[in-house]
Every structure is written in structure tokens, then in C-alpha cells.
Amino acid sequence: MPTFEESYLGQLVQIRELTGKDYKFLLPAARAVVRDSSGKILFIRRKDNGKWVMPSGSQELGETIYDCMRRETREEAGIEVTSATVMAIYNYFATSDDFYQTLHVQFLVNEWSGEVVRETDEATDARFWSMDEIRAAVPGKISPYYLDVLDDLDKYDGRVITK
């Protein structure tokens, strides 16, 4: 697993130091909705900021967006995704302090194998939450982007949602 400095985002931070704030970058990323047999959704607690998030991360050069989602899910939760469907594509635009825009491809995991690992190099905990538990944890514990994903998951009918 690459260090942050070796990752695509880490390299953009280094480029930003060289270029100043004149350039903006597009950052492709993938996220996974992983559910257990009762329909609860997997969230991991990020090591860097303590927020609960779905397995996700930036696409690395040379990998497909699907492989990115599989890698991030494996790195952050220890499980192998064996089948997934694109559920949504989200654009997150930069604020005044950001230098990049992200394009998140949201996957709905159909099948996975293995046991969830509660602590990894990137996560301090992992667990499955019911929709009610997730919504009750806000504000502060769940990254707000995921409320939008949960709303879209409720109304997902098999057609890709774009925002």
C-alpha cells in the first residue's frame, strides 16, 4: 500500500506546493455500499479524522474505477468485493480552500467474501449500521456526503443516479 505522499492525492498536494493555487485538478474516486445479510451498511472509522465513512478512496493511475473500489474496500475493511454495480456518480466541487474537484463513482456491492477487519492501516473501527443508526449518528460522526448516498439508496431503482 502506498504512503499518502505516494498516492495520487498526495502527489497533487506536492504539485500544489509547486504551482500555487492557480490550477485545479479533477480527482476520480470510488465508494462502496456494502451490506450484510440483514441489510445493514458497512462504515469504517477513518484513522485520520475519526469520521465514519463507507469504504472509499482515490483512483490510482493504472487501475480501473472498479478495481479502485475493490482495493479501497480491501484496504479499509479487509473484505473482497466479488460483484458490484454502479449506483451513482457524484460531483463534489471545491470550496475556496480546495484545489480539486472529486468525481465519486458509488458502487452497490452485490457480493463480497471474507470477514470484516475492524482495524486496518486506514481505519480504527468498522461495523455495519442500520439506516436509523447512521442517521442518528449525525452530526459529527458521519461524513455528510453519506446522507445523500443513503437517500439515493432508498430510491435506487437500478438506474444510475447522477448528481
Lowest-pLDDT choice from 57-66, 87-96, 114-123: 87-96
3-state secondary structure of 123: strand
Over range 126-131, report the average pLDDT: 93
Q: What are the phi and psi torsion angles at 150 (to 5°)? A: -65, -40
Report residue 50's pLDDT band, with 50, 70 and 90 as the boundaries: confident
Q: pLDDT tens across 101-126, in order?
A: 889 999 999 999 999 999 998 899 99
CATH numbers and ranges of domains, the chain: 8-162 (3.90.79.10)
**Does the structure show a pLDDT above 80 at 2?**
no
Q: Which residues contact 103 (CB under 8 A, 6 or more apart)?
A: 26, 27, 28, 29, 89, 90, 91
**Does the structure show a pLDDT above 80 at 97?**
no
Q: Which residues contact 48 (CB under 8 A, 6 or more apart)?
A: none
Cα angle: 66, vertex 152, 58; to 5 degrees:
30
